[in-house]
Structure 1
Amino acid sequence: MGTFPGDNVSMTNDGVRMAAIHHFFTAASWIEGAATVQLEQVARLASMQAVAAFPDLHPGKYGPVGMAARADRLYPQLIGNDIGCGMALFELDMPLRKLSLDKAIEQFRQLETIEIASLEERLEECGLPADCHPHALGSLGGGNHFCELQAVHGLIGADTHATIDRQRLYLLIHSGSRSLGALIVHDTIKHAGSLSEGLDAGDEAGSVWLTAHDSAVEWAKLNRRIIAERAAACLRADLRLVVDVPHNLVRSDAGAFVHHKGSAAVSVGALAPIAGSRATLSYIVEALPGTEFSLGGISHGAGRKYDRQAMHGRVGLNRSEREALTGNSFGGRVICDDRALLIEEAATAYKNAATVVDDLVQFGLVRPMASMKPLITYKSAGGGAEVKRKDERRARERRRDQSRERRLRHD
């Protein structure tokens, strides 16, 4: 993945060791002060070697989101609960001209009720145990996760048409490892205790976490695939994977480990989606050789401008405002029956993805390939009897799995 030119670790005025921090953003990208404080805290961690910060940088729970950090120890807290979270782009064999948006919206509302056969077999095909949280497969989760039907807004570059078809519809899926990732973090803290000094990959605790991490990354990739299959089934279409890019994971790098937290893990020449908000454009970019000096990372999306709590009181103050939040200027619609989530995920909560991409271009990290407009953004749908029955069944399966896991630990 390369290193930064002139990499170094310095000592602060108060005598604390601090890794080099490299900013891959300009003054055009608004960065909250709390995020830069967290960035410095990461740089002060023991054995940290270098940190890269991207234009979607914003504060997170245990460290900033929108960064990559190289160390010779493992820091599970930097990755967080949603190990393997990422975005996958799929091309549908359904042409844009055949889309009836109103009909598609009604079909999309059934997304979480579509049955996917042989989940256990699908897990085993990925090298995972058949009982590895099958009840959670095909679920988006909350927060900023989504399933979005997109159309090409514009092609950028003469050769882009060979990769992106202007006449086709696309699915962009953002989700992760769900209950599996949360369980891994819980078990790691329970058995390893404090994670402030990191884990040695050669010790039992580090080895166990890394093995579980790898499983969660594969599980999350399968989860995105199944969500896409459900969406394609709603539209009675077939799909083709364009690219799947995780942004919450650890990658090995010449005896060290690069921690990606909200930074797309790319390789030179690979495509990657950079998500906008549900009312703004997303982008497909190609990673350039410059990413060899950004720890193999780029932005994964626009990045939050305001936290969730701050959005309450800013938008959605009355019924008409909330109704306005379910549409966008492209004629697209949002499916979200959770009022709080609708407000917290409003477009104004996010930065401008175009500015993020411009900054990445200025630093030689990416080449834009296409801009994509949101037609249907699925967040959550509820209230139907079928959905309730499915939720109840998943709850029973979850309790059963938790009971089995407790017995295994006890034994």
Structure 2
Amino acid sequence: MGNFIGSSGSSSPCVAEAAHIQNYFSSRTWIEGAALEQLKSVAALPGVSSVAAFPDLHPGKYGPTGIAVLSQRLHPQLIGNDIGCGMSLFELDLPLRKLRIDRAVEGLRRIEAEDVFDPAEALAASSLPPDLFPAALGTIGGGNHFCELQAVDQTVDAAGQSMFDRQRLYLLVHSGSRGLGAFVFGQMLDLQSPITAGLDPASEDGVHWRRQHDVCVTWASLNRRLIAERAASVLRADLRLVTDVPHNLVRDRGTALVHHKGSAAVQAGDMAPIAGSRASLSYVVRSLDSTGPSLGGISHGAGRKYDRATMHGRTGRNRSERVALLKNEWGGQLICDDRSLVIEEAAGAYKDAGQVVQDLADAGLVQELAAMRPLVTYKKAIEGPPDRTRNKPSRERGRAGHGRG
């Protein structure tokens, strides 16, 4: 199972002993020292009793990404501003043999302008207010978010039968709650002083944040589905949801709470994507019964090896290098008109997703089901719609939490 770091803490009776940290990564996986230091800080937060750290672990602003944290208190800063962010995998009824990558690129450049749903109707159908950040629905966002057309590279038989069709195409969508989550996070920052104190889950502020959190998780899942519907429309295909797994959220666990920050929230038997980079394989795994000790968490992706600023000195220093970053060894192509983002999200910025999956499998947390190769990755197109999800009018922004009640 995992490697253990023993409890640590002050001998003073006035200082609570730090929580146990359970590591699920091997010595073969690169883990930055700053992330390990942040783990210790998380373990010392009020109410925290257990921390699980996964192979995609890397430093973050308020704590590392790639963790699950069990606590009696709410710590919204561990979740961050992209509440409900996750990955959804869809199967298309489009045969791989009919794919023309250049034509797919041409179509997918337009996905965020594809008119295939009414935002108010889509929100209402998910029991959300029809004016809750409607302009952002079906949009991907920046950073490491993407919509990727994939094909099966290899499969691992489960019960004697592969669960993935080598002749079909798949969509992997990674996105979250966009400006809605940022608004909720901004509200939360005004509630906590200091930010590390956390919230009493039963307090008015704690109940209010959980309600807003739940809205964000629902909105983010809907957003991923609508992105996929837009992509399927331009590809002239129907789609079927394979799995939808959030990795930035809080879940109840008995009388305590599990905070997932960049860790896929699963139960035994769930399928979950583990994303590589746009020039490396991604994986689909099934979580096993032994995810109980890992607080129901596993890695959601490869995890960053180098931060964004560092990548500008490592690759893309001339035009030929930047052009090379737009293609991969399978003939796949990247749609991204932001030169900085191309460099910051280059394959070299990420760890080896295959090693991440191997660490999780060796720890008894997952069984690999398939490896998926990237064919077309959409991140950002200049002709796409502008990001209108920030600085919303006060009337619309005020609907984020359904009131404080």
Using structure 2 for the length normalisation, give the TM-score. 0.94
Aligned to 2:126: 126
Aligned to 1:17: 17
1:139 aligns with 2:131: no
Aligned to 1:401: 393
Q: CA deviation at 1:404?
A: 4.7
Q: CA deviation at 1:305?
A: 0.2
Matches within 5 A, 1:106-255: 106-159=106-159, 161-255=161-255
Aligned to 1:361: 361
Count of aligned residue pairs for this structure pair: 398
CA deviation string 1:118-169 (max 9, x = no partner): 2111111111111111111011110000000000000112547452111110
Matches within 5 A, 1:9-408: 11-12=9-10, 17-159=17-159, 161-382=161-382, 384=383, 387=384, 390-391=385-386, 395=388, 401-402=393-394, 404-405=396-397
Letter in 2 for 1:99: L
Contact 1:86–1:248 under 8 Å retained in 2: yes
Distance 1:107 1:404, change over 3 A: closer
Letter in 1 for 2:9: M
Q: What is the DSSP-based 3-state SS (H/G/I as helix, E as strand, rest coil) of the residue aligned with 1:60?
A: coil
Take 2:361 and 2:117, find their aligned partners in 1: how far apart are those partners?
43
Take 1:378 and 1:22, find their aligned partners in 2: how far apart are those partners?
36
Q: CA deviation at 1:46?
A: 0.9
Distance 1:278 1:152, change over 3 A: same
Take 1:78 and 1:335, find their aligned partners in 2: how far apart are those partners?
31
Distance 1:211 1:8, change over 3 A: farther
Contact 1:151–1:170 under 8 Å retained in 2: yes
Take 1:183 and 1:160, find their aligned partners in 2: how far apart are those partners?
48
Letter in 2 for 1:401: P
CA deviation string 1:228-276 (max 9, x = no partner): 0010011010000000000000000001000000000001011000000
Take 1:407 and 1:301, find their aligned partners in 2: how far apart are those partners?
32
Take 1:151 and 1:184, find their aligned partners in 2: how far apart are those partners?
36
Q: What is the DSSP-based 3-state SS (H/G/I as helix, E as strand, rest coil) of the residue aligned with 2:18?
A: strand
Q: What is the DSSP-based 3-state SS (H/G/I as helix, E as strand, rest coil) of the residue aligned with 1:188?
A: helix
Take 2:274 and 2:258, find their aligned partners in 1: how far apart are those partners?
20
- Percent identity, aligned pairs only? 56
Distance 1:381 1:20, change over 3 A: same
CA deviation string 1:187-210 (max 9, x = no partner): 122244433111011100000000
Q: What is the DSSP-based 3-state SS (H/G/I as helix, E as strand, rest coil) of the residue aligned with 1:103?
A: helix
Contact 2:212–2:400 under 8 Å retained in 1: no
* Gap regions ≥5 residues in structure 2: none
Letter in 2 for 1:42: V
CA deviation string 1:326-375 (max 9, x = no partner): 00111101111000000000000000000000000100000000000000
Take 1:158 and 1:38, find their aligned partners in 2: how far apart are those partners?
38
CA deviation string 1:295-354 (max 9, x = no partner): 000000000000000001110000000000000111101111000000000000000000
Q: What is the DSSP-based 3-state SS (H/G/I as helix, E as strand, rest coil) of the residue aligned with 1:295?
A: coil
Distance 1:71 1:318, change over 3 A: same
What is the aligned-residue RMSD (CA, Å)?
2.1
